[in-house]
Amino acid sequence: MNRRPNRQAIMASVLTADFAALGDQCRRLEMAGVDGIHWDVMDGLAVPSLSFGPDVIAACRRHTAIPFEAHLMTNQPDRLVDQMAQAGCQTVIVHPDWLQNPRRTLQGIQERGLSAGVALSPGSPVDLARWHLDIVDLVLVMTVEPGYGGQQRIALMTDKVREVSLLVERQDRRIEIEVDGGVRPDNIAEVFGAGAGRFVIGSALWEDATFEAAVTSLREAAASP
């Protein structure tokens, strides 16, 4: 049976970071207590924005030891898996509805020694994850439309998190549930209560006085009844 973690994992999205000091920002986020860096890899084709490539991720890898995960929002994500592994990512997340053969892609990720995740956009049915729960390590529920940061969370997506959680609980293997999009201190407890244990946090980390204060605020809010 799946077990919800006692401690919520905070994965920092660096779309809001100062790109001129990205390595230093990753180091500071590690010191502040985040559990990993979430790289929104966007090609400007599959989604409107253009963000990081493997060379940037590899350059930042030298500045921190915490886990990296790559969320591939690109036209041909299969071509990037090897490069993400070489750049120092431990997890690669793909959208199954954007792939010709999702299962082959997920198995290919795992064959490279990486954790494999599936991402569900707000309009993507939960069944897209259901048929891969025997092999995936993580399900990412998008609570905003993929493509750019700073969006307001779609509150109805909490129901999708709950639905995914029920499916995951029926599995005889551990599968993480992650949420990405507009997660803040005033709503993290709701999403955690729905079954998520990992939270991709972007702009909320930059709105507090320090990264340390932001991480503390998020953890305390998630633990509150």
Q: Which of 159, 180, 186, 208 is catalytic?
A: 180
Would you call 35 a catalytic residue per the annotation?
Answer: no
* Annotated catalytic residue within 24, 40, 97, 137: 40
Cα separation, 173 vs 159, in Å, equals 23
Asked if residues 166 and 151 have their Cβ atoms less than 8 Å apart, the reply is no
Beta bridge partners of 188: none
- Annotated active-site residue 40? The verdict is yes
DSSP 6-54: SS-EEEEE-TTS-GGGHHHHHHHHHHHT-SEEEEEEEBSSSSS-B---H
End-to-end alpha-carbon separation of the chain, Å? 24
Catalytic residues: 40, 180
